[in-house]
Amino acid sequence: MLPFGNNLCPEVHVGQTAHQIQDCQGPGNVNRRSFHSWVKGSVNDVLIPIESYHLFDPFGHRIKHETRFDYDRIPAVVELCIQAGVELPEYPSRRRNQPIRMLGKKVIDRGGFVKDPKRKPPSPSSPLTELDTYWAHVGQFPPPSASDIPRLAQETLDAYEKVRFGVRKLMNKYSVKACGYCSEVHVGPWGHDAKLCGAFKHQWRDGKHGWQDATVDEVIPPNFVWHVQDPGGSPLRGALKRFYGKAPAVVELCTQAGAIVPVKYKPMMRLDIVVPDTDEARLVA
């Protein structure tokens, strides 16, 4: 099975052949009769990368629009783990011995401001180099043998669920903000002031984000795709799309590779639905 990406819209499909559902809303969709223009997918199509600014002191100076280039952008999950206690030499974090005193949302005593340490580029031996998903796409990792695929699929699915569970628990302790208009995420007690929002009516907000408490799905987007019950069968068709289920791209990829479907995903994947033939679809109530 292969993940298929789309170079004209965000649609992703996992399967031996791309689906033929006419729901593309990208540029030139009228000329293509809303058929998708498929290309080979990458890791970033299965796991959507969500980045945030790294802060040495989350309770320190707020990021301004003019100072946004003074801060590194790293995966939001990594930044959340760093603030929770993970030590990475390339991205140090201030560790306090005394609690921060707050009155509501106003900080009464933060222990003073400290100067951020000088930025250091990651070394080639750093574990952060494994986060470079581009090299995974161009062939850094060799393809596994056929006998190892089911085991690897199950380990990947278990790791995905473990990461989501861990992120959910960390977010109960450490504040994560998300923009209510776009996909920007910020790990810290307050959102940054960079005027980078280009979503609906951003002119009214001078490009500022509309910060609110984030959810797990905003930090780790599930990126739902159509579920293929028979990967070796005929492509999915638009006339039967009401019979198809959906699942996160990671779950769909691992399931087609031999992993056991978690119970919580079975209803949305509609595994109990028998997909009829095209001629039979009009006879189904």
Question: CA 46 to CA 222: how far, in whole Å?
Answer: 8
Whether residues 91 and 43 fall in one domain: no
CB atoms within 10 A of CB 202: 17
- Measured over the CA atoms of residue 27, residue 28, residue 33 and residue 37, the dihedral's sign is negative
CB atoms within 10 A of CB 28: 9
| Partners of 248 in beta bridges | 224
Whether residues 43 and 137 fall in one domain: no
Residue 16, C-beta contacts closer than 8 angstroms, at least 6 positions apart: 1, 2, 231, 232
184 touches 210 (CB < 8 A): no
Whether residues 154 and 242 fall in one domain: no
Question: CA 51 to CA 187: how far, in whole Å?
Answer: 10
Residue 207's pLDDT is what?
A: 93
Residue 110: which domain range?
51-219
Nearest to 223 by CA among 255, 248, 250: 248
CB atoms within 10 A of CB 50: 17
As given in the structure block, the two tokens for residue 248 are 């996160």
Whether residues 97 and 134 fall in one domain: yes
Residue 196's pLDDT is what?
A: 92
Residue 271, C-beta contacts closer than 8 angstroms, at least 6 positions apart: 229, 245, 261
Pairing of strands 185-187, 246-248: unpaired
Whether residues 269 and 131 fall in one domain: no
Residue 59's pLDDT is what?
A: 87
Mean pLDDT by 10 residues, the chain (285 residues): 72 90 87 88 89 91 92 93 91 84 75 74 62 55 84 95 96 94 93 92 92 95 92 87 92 94 93 78 63
Looking at the structure of the chain, the number of domains it has is: 2
Residue 166's pLDDT is what?
A: 96
Whether residues 98 and 160 fall in one domain: yes
Coil/strand/helix, residue 75: strand
Whether residues 277 and 210 fall in one domain: no
Question: CA 256 to CA 4: how far, in whole Å?
Answer: 14
Which amino acid, 180? G
Question: CA 162 to CA 254: how far, in whole Å?
Answer: 15
Whether residues 42 and 66 fall in one domain: no
